[in-house]
Amino acid sequence: MRRALPAAALLLLATALPAQAQSQAHSQAITTARKTTTATLRKPPPRAAYHAADAPTNAPVAYVGGMKPVMDQGRYLHGILDELEGRYAPGGTDFRWDGEAWYGGDYNRLWLKSEGTLEHGRLHDGDHELLYSRAVSPYWNVQAGVRADIDDGPTRTWGALGVQGLALYQFEFQATAYVSDRGRFASRIEGSYDFLLTNRLILQPQAEFNLYTKSDPARQVGAGLSDVDAGLRLRYEIWRKFAPYVAVSYAGYLTQARRIVHDQQGESGALRLTFGVRSWF
Amino acid sequence: MLIPSRNRGGLSRRRFVTGLGAGAVMAALPRPLQAHTPTAGQIPPMARARWNLRVGRSRIEIDHKMLHAPCIGGDVPGPILRWRQGDTVSINVTNTLADEDTSIHWHGLRLPASMDGVPGLSFAGIAPGQTFTYRFPITQSGTYWYHSHSGMQEAQGLYGAIVIDPPVPDPQPCARDYVILLSEWSDVSPMDMLSNLKMQDDYYVFRQRTLASFPREARAAGSPLAALKDRLAWSRMRMAATDIADVTGVIYTYLLNGHAPDMNWNALFTPGERVRLRFINGASMTFFDIRIPGLEMLVVAADGNAVEPVPVDEFRIGVAETYDVIVQPREARAYTLFAQSEDRTGYARGTLAPQPGMSGPIPPMDPRPVRSMVDMGMGDMKPGSSMKGMAMPDHAPGMQASHGHSHLMPHHEGRMMEGMDMTDMQPSPPEPSGHGMSMPEHHMDKPTHHKPTTDTASIIEVDDPGPPPLNVENQNIARMPTDRLGSPGDGLEHNGRRVLNYSQLRATRPGSDPRPPTREIIMHLTGNMERYIWGFNGRKFSESGPIRLRRNERVRFTLINDTMMEHPIHLHGMWSELENGQGAYRPYKHTLISQPGSKLSYLVTADAPGMWAYHCHLMLHMETGMFRTVIVE
């Protein structure tokens, strides 16, 4: 969804970061210089505190008929399926969805997130969250609510608290911490980036990591970094709201979870050719 | 969950019908379109004082885009109203819409507040089935326009031109006189546009920088590294240099007097005649750059008021502005009226010809503008050096703290600048208002030293909001806003043509109120493109109080544009006298373009009591919060 720069730009990222530090130091130097020169030249004239001509007031304006001239508090409803895809494998194709919907205004929104994978007729990695989202800065929202792991495995419920937004260089980013009804902790980190090859052909690397404090073998969860689900998707936006894609996806278990799955004779990870559609309303 | 779109002209769109529209469309009898009578653009032969206007929805199809458009008398645009200065006009507006209020605002007219036509401020609107009689004396002359101020009816067709005869013979007599009303046409409802933009701010922009466009940029920038650096700078700010228009030719057909380009609206002339063209930008989201290849245009009026004639090849018209130009075609051939959108995704077009049905060559569109650091309010930094002094929203507290003192203290600017060494950053010196003649680049080699003008000395009260916060509603601070009155605007500089700029506008008579201002109101234009929220001083309308002016107070408004877009700022009911260096001959305007990263000022005499609207005339900016109520007590 974001505008992007070519892949090579990433390589420059590392070199650019020191430049930022420099620029901050530079600006502070200017600030200091300004203060001293002003002070030595002349005492700054007394000045009233800042006052905006349109400052909010308690005295309401009597609009004719109670009509507000503009409606800037509109509420909107949107939903997006970032992933709706088949992950091909000779032994059986998996189907996966990952999407979210929100309703609300500029500050307060209700979010619904849902994802899951259908594998050999069994639903796993089913994760559904209902969150209140509050805009807190130009690009960031704080989100809090509940998560329910509902699929063919045992059900778990969690409280959730996280951030979601647009990081520097226009990375889409979400990080959420969870605490379960059994006193366990978990965390999920998700990120994606849109590289515009053309205005309609977009390459999107995406990754999601799950971490847990304790293992939960019944759900193939291990302590520490437990699983990863990543994809490199090449989509074509026939229209903004409808974009078929081809992708390479990887879903796998890591560290302790990998051993748990191995002991259960499960597949510990697979790289797959994937086809899907990204769509939203 | 979604409907793949039809393809047309290489662009696909989601087919869309509003609930209301859908019902109405099915109920309506299909009839062949006809928004464009042969008389479109023809001014009525005589001024009239009494008018009856019926507002309703009509099924109109232009460029294969069918719309159940709210309009007057079944036509888009509505009829040209010709009035005479000195008369008292009386206009009955009848609302025949099924279930929505309507209103007509007389844009640029000086009249009692109750006649201004803004629901909630002037009156309660006109309910379905009701008739409202507007009655007010006409105290001015020139080219103006009218439009609905209810919902988003204006964006769908409820607008038209006003021509007011002066009481004395026109000092610029012309054999022919035409209205050229520019606008947009789309079958996507404005509410849908807004909803899409809230989800994805670049929804309608398909001209972004991509891997495919990189080689071209690298050539333009001199090296791939320079081009990459520039991209990184923009990406780091989470903004796009290609962000010129929010809504584009992807869904708009641009109209000239209700005619799509291939319908070729015609106006006749006899070679050698002087022809007056009254340009009105009645669009809701589009700026146009206008030229007539092969003809010099003499700009003789701006926003209805006469200015000293300025010969130009091209001019930009912001949303809601009007310009009268005079042309004198000498050859018996067709001349193309060419009005390209600022983002170059389309154009409106018509033809001046000695005979009906002729058409001239249509020029290719110019390269699209690309935003620069000047637009970000970073002064005149070159893109290469841009990383250095750039504000890093929410990541550079040091920068924020140092922000802005160069422009926030109008009294002391000169002094403040004296001791500052900002050679790296090459700031344009902030000047006391009223010295707007020079080009930005001209500032650079000039020592920065300005004495406060006497005008400034008269100010005893300053409403200075301070630097706008970086918050949910604002993503940028113009740290070094420049004076851009000498610039014709992004994409028009150094294009080899004589392009009008604001510093060239000089009224033909001195202003009627010689008093210097006693109060200055500083307003920052702010917004968050990413969330699609717009406002002033980091707040949208619903979070702000009214601006209160005392009766007959003389006020200087100073606009600092912290966003990277142009905003046409319109004050209802009172003139905005642009301080552009013309001394007492300030041009009187009703709508002023505030260029991105710029600072400008204008004087207002608060001689019209009542509640007035003050807003950005880009409809979706207004509706998302760039609106204030002005109360003259």
Residues paired with B162 in a beta bridge: B81, B144
Structure tokens at B140: 């001015």
Q: How far apart are CA B433 and CA B409, in angstroms?
A: 12
Q: What angle is formed at CA B268 by the lines to CA B176 and CA B249, rounded to 5 degrees?
A: 105
Residue ranges, CATH 2.60.40.420, chain B:
35-171, 449-632
- In this structure, what DSSP letter does residue B191 have? H
- The predicted model gives B166-192 an average pLDDT of 94
| Percent of chain A topping pLDDT 90 | 70
Contact call for B542 and A73, based on CB within 8 A:
yes
| The CATH number fitting domain B35-171, selected from 3.30.530.20, 3.40.50.300, 2.60.40.420, 3.40.50.11740 | 2.60.40.420
Q: How far apart are CA B33 and CA B59, in angstroms?
A: 7
CB atoms within 10 A of CB B103: 27
**Cross-sheet strand order for the sheet of B547-549:** B547-549, B627-632, B610-616, B567-571, B591-594
Burial of B32 (0-12, 13-18, 19+ CB in 10 A): exposed
Domains, chain A, with CATH or none? 76-280 (2.40.160.40)
Place of tokens 């609930």: B19
By the CB < 8 Å criterion, does A18 face chain B? Answer: no
> What angle do the packed helices B224-236 and B214-221 form, to 10 degrees?
110
Angstroms from B288 CA to nearest CA on chain A = 24
Q: How far apart are CA B579 and CA B552, in angstroms?
A: 19
The class level of CATH for B449-632 reads mainly beta
Q: Which of B237-251, B377-391, B528-542 has the highest mean pLDDT?
A: B528-542
pLDDT in tens, B330-369: 999 999 999 999 999 999 999 999 999 999 999 999 999 9
Structure tokens at A45: 């004239």
CB atoms within 10 A of CB B64: 11
**Cross-sheet strand order for the sheet of B322-327:** B253-256, B176-185, B275-281, B322-327, B297-302, B305-312
Q: How far apart are CA B110 and CA B564, in angstroms?
A: 32
Out of B120, B231, B421, name the one closest to residue A9 (CB): B231
Residue B348's nearest CA partner among B258, B418, B251, B449 is B258
Contact call for B533 and A5, based on CB within 8 A:
no
| Percent of chain B topping pLDDT 70 | 82
pLDDT in tens, B446-473: 333 333 344 677 888 999 999 999 999 9
pLDDT in tens, A168-199: 888 999 999 999 988 899 999 999 999 999 99
Q: Is the peptide bond before B354 cis (omega within 30 degrees of 0)?
A: no
Q: How far apart are CA A99 and CA B586, in angstroms?
A: 56
**Bigger pLDDT: B163 or A265?**
B163
Angstroms from A255 CA to nearest CA on chain B = 35
Residues paired with B70 in a beta bridge: B57
Q: What is the predicted ipTM?
A: 0.84
Contact call for A54 and B615, based on CB within 8 A:
no
Out of A16, A42, A200, name the one closest to residue B232 (CB): A16
Res A129: pLDDT: 97
For residue A262, report the phi and psi dihedrals to the nearest 5 degrees. -60, -45
Q: How far apart are CA B367 and CA B492, in angstroms?
A: 10
Q: Which residues in chain A touch residue B392, judged by CB atoms under 8 angstroms apart?
A: 20, 23-24
Structure tokens at A26: 């530079």
Integer angstrom CA distances of residue B498 from B100, B314, B491, B493, B584: 46, 6, 13, 9, 25
Residue B233: band (very low, low, confident or very high) from pLDDT cuts 50, 70, 90: confident
- In this structure, what DSSP letter does residue B108 have? T
Q: What angle is formed at CA A230 by the lines to CA A225 and CA A232, rounded to 5 degrees?
A: 155
Q: Which residues in chain B touch residue A136, judged by CB atoms under 8 angstroms apart?
A: 472
Q: How far apart are CA A107 and CA A74, in angstroms?
A: 11
CA atoms within 13 A on the CB side of A134: 6
Could you tell me the pTM of the whole model?
Answer: 0.85
- The predicted model gives B480-507 an average pLDDT of 96
Residue B10: band (very low, low, confident or very high) from pLDDT cuts 50, 70, 90: very low
Angstroms from A32 CA to nearest CA on chain B = 9
Contact call for A27 and B125, based on CB within 8 A:
no
Q: Which residues in chain B touch residue A237, judged by CB atoms under 8 angstroms apart?
A: none
Structure tokens at B389: 């002094």
Q: What is the mean pLDDT of chain A?
A: 85
Q: How far apart are CA B501 and CA B484, in angstroms?
A: 9
Angstroms from A14 CA to nearest CA on chain B = 12
Out of B199, B203, B546, name the one closest to residue A61 (CB): B546
Out of B119, B240, B392, name the one closest to residue A3 (CB): B240
Residue B381: band (very low, low, confident or very high) from pLDDT cuts 50, 70, 90: low
Find the residue in A nearest to B473 (Cα).
A138
- The predicted model gives B125-147 an average pLDDT of 97
pLDDT in tens, B45-81: 999 999 999 999 999 999 999 999 999 999 999 999 9
Burial of B250 (0-12, 13-18, 19+ CB in 10 A): buried
Find the residue in A nearest to B114 (Cα).
A64
Interface of A with B in 206-235 (CB under 8 A): none
Burial of A139 (0-12, 13-18, 19+ CB in 10 A): buried
- Residue at B307: amino acid letter: V
Q: Which residues in chain B touch residue A60, judged by CB atoms under 8 angstroms apart?
A: none
- Residue at A254: amino acid letter: L
Contact call for B536 and A106, based on CB within 8 A:
no
Q: What is the mean pLDDT of chain B?
A: 85
Q: Is the pLDDT of residue B406 over 50?
A: no
Integer angstrom CA distances of residue A11 from B55, B84, B210: 59, 67, 17
Residue B236: band (very low, low, confident or very high) from pLDDT cuts 50, 70, 90: confident
Find the residue in B nearest to A37 (Cα).
B419
Structure tokens at A257: 């979870």
- Residue at B321: amino acid letter: E
